[in-house]
Amino acid sequence: MPGQRVVVGLVGAKFAASFHARNYRRVYGVDLRVKGVTAKTEESAESFAKQHGLEVAYPTFEAMLADPEITLIDLCVPNHLHRPMAIQAANVGKHVACEKPLTGVFTDRPSDEPGARTMLDQAVAGTDEVLAAIGRNGVRLLYAENWVYAPSVQKANHLLAQADGTIMRILAEESHSGSHSPYSKEWRYAGGGSLFHKGCHPLSGALFLKAQEGLRRRGTSIRPANVLAAVSNLTRIESFLAESERWVQLGWKDCEDWGTMVVTFDDGSVAQITAADVSLGGVQNWMTVYSSKAVIQCNISPNTGMMTYAPAGHLFPSPDIREKVETTAGWQYTNPDEDWMNGFPNELQDFCEAVAHGREPQSGAWLARDVVVVSYGAYLSAIAGRRVDLTPWM
């Protein structure tokens, strides 16, 4: 049963918009039409529409909102635009898919504990504004957290359910050698550094698995209770700056390029989450789950699904090998279908089905909100130098 027709308008025309456009083409069993795109400039929307075979390049976001055929607005724009655009879209009755993180605080980096506490309050208030607009208008929020949909994370959830143990510890990381987007290097656009825009992925994987465990075993989600964190700018190490050859990216204005947090859940279990923009070797996306009855290792990337060798880098263009590898020469952990391993096709399938059949997606409002609370709680912890109790914001 295809359900209600889903007509998508993509907002943004670069990195995230490209993998969304590619993976909508893999959605099946839903009456889906990806109608058009809008971007910061009309030229970029037009060239994206041409490249992906979309019917309309809207000159503005408002023009897209005014199209009565569009039922789902898919936000693939920088983080600081998520909240206002999501509210605008919900207010005209459109469902909203939003890239991660849902929102944050887009000013300068906080410099002291009162500033970080205010930022946590504001981030949660901003999130709740979006969720209120979604609820008020009877539309759905589809939170584009692909780790929830990564086949290895879905399978981990299935196997953990079969073994029926307690997840005691989760260790997870997302890192690479530096974001491609200049927006990610300034707090006023990104709302945080590596711990926020990369750490949100492994954090979400852990939040999802613990929530599912709670629903299975006690009938309610197991939620985060407190967080302890540290952040740093490792690209400011003097000996590194003095080196003549560099593969790790520079240019971080006021965002950290490394961070780690220990999240303790309300059942006493822990998740150790790390994120960095200083790690060579291509994107590192992995999670190890230590449960009382099983150990599960999710190697989203790299993994040994396919190995390739080339004697010189120019023989294989990088994106065809694996995201963000600095060289394609030598033996490589080549990903045969990186979009699938990342969970993008499953994510858009679930989103389209959720809209078509009027149900909640697996990655929705609860996860988007918990990520904001834990991440800004982590920044408060890093600045205050102690563990932060999250319960007032949960």
Binding of residue 22 to ligand NAD (CB under 6 A): no
Tell me: does residue 102 bind ligand NAD (CB under 6 A): no
Indicate which single residue of 8, 10, 13, 341 sits in contact with ligand NAD (rule: CB under 6 A).
Answer: 13
φ, ψ of residue 116 to 5 degrees: the values are -70, -35
Give the whole-angstrom CA distance, residue 167 versus residue 187: 34
**Residue among 20 and 117 whose Cβ is closer to ligand NAD:** 20
User: Could you tell me which stretch among 37-45, 50-58, 102-110, 267-275 binds ligand NAD (CB under 6 A)?
Assistant: 37-45
Name the maximum alpha-carbon separation found in the chain.
62
Considering the complex, state which of residue 37 and residue 160 has its C-beta at the smaller distance from ligand NAD: 37
Where does this chain touch ligand NAD (CB under 6 A) — which range of 75-83, 87-95, 270-278, 313-321? 75-83
Using CB under 6 A, which of the segments 39-47, 122-130, 150-158, 314-322 binds ligand NAD?
Answer: 39-47
Q: Return the DSSP state at 198.
A: T
Beta pairing partners, 75: 11, 98
Joined tokens for residue 116: 């970080």
Residue that has been written with the tokens 């949100």 in this structure: 200
Identify the residue among 23, 71, 79, 362 touching ligand NAD (CB under 6 A): 79
Phi, psi of 24 (to 5 degrees): -60, -30
Binding range to ligand NAD, per CB under 6 A, among 36-44, 216-224, 312-320, 362-370: 36-44
Helical packing angle, 15-24 and 42-52, nearest 10°: 30
In this chain, which stretch among 32-40, 207-215, 304-312, 372-380 interacts with ligand NAD, using CB under 6 A?
32-40
Min CB(22)–ligand NAD separation in Å: 13
Fill in the per-residue mask, 129 to 168: x = in contact with ligand NAD (CB under 6 A), - = not in contact. Answer: ---------------x-x----------------------
Q: Which is nearer to ligand NAD, 80 or 117 (CB)?
A: 80
- The rounded Cα 149 to chain-centroid distance in angstroms is 11
Between CA 232 and CA 250 the distance in angstroms is: 14
Separation of first and last alpha carbons in the chain:
37
Residue 100 interacts with ligand NAD (CB under 6 A): yes or no: yes
Query: Distance (Å, rounded) from C-alpha 14 to C-alpha 45?
Result: 9
**Residue of the chain from 10, 73, 74, 78 that contacts ligand NAD (CB under 6 A):** 78
> Torsions phi, psi of 78, nearest 5?
-55, 155
At 152 the three-state DSSP class reads helix
Spell 320-357 as b/e; 16+ CB within 10 A means b. ebbbbbebbeeebbbbeebbbbbbbbbbbbbbbbbbbe
| Residue whose C-beta lies closest to ligand NAD | 14
Check residue 203 for interaction with ligand NAD (CB under 6 A): no
φ, ψ of residue 348 to 5 degrees: the values are -70, -30
Q: Are 101 and 79 in contact (CB under 8 A)?
A: yes
Instruction: Tell me if 77 contacts ligand NAD by CB under 6 A.
Output: yes
- Residue 16 binds ligand NAD (CB under 6 A): yes
Residues numbered 281-340 forming contacts with ligand NAD, rule: CB under 6 A: none
| Binds ligand NAD by CB under 6 A, chosen from 7, 10, 39, 275 | 39
Distance CA 194, CA 169 (A): 22
- Where on the chain is the footprint of ligand NAD (CB under 6 A)? 11-17, 38-40, 44, 61, 76-79, 81, 99-100, 144, 146, 181, 183, 197
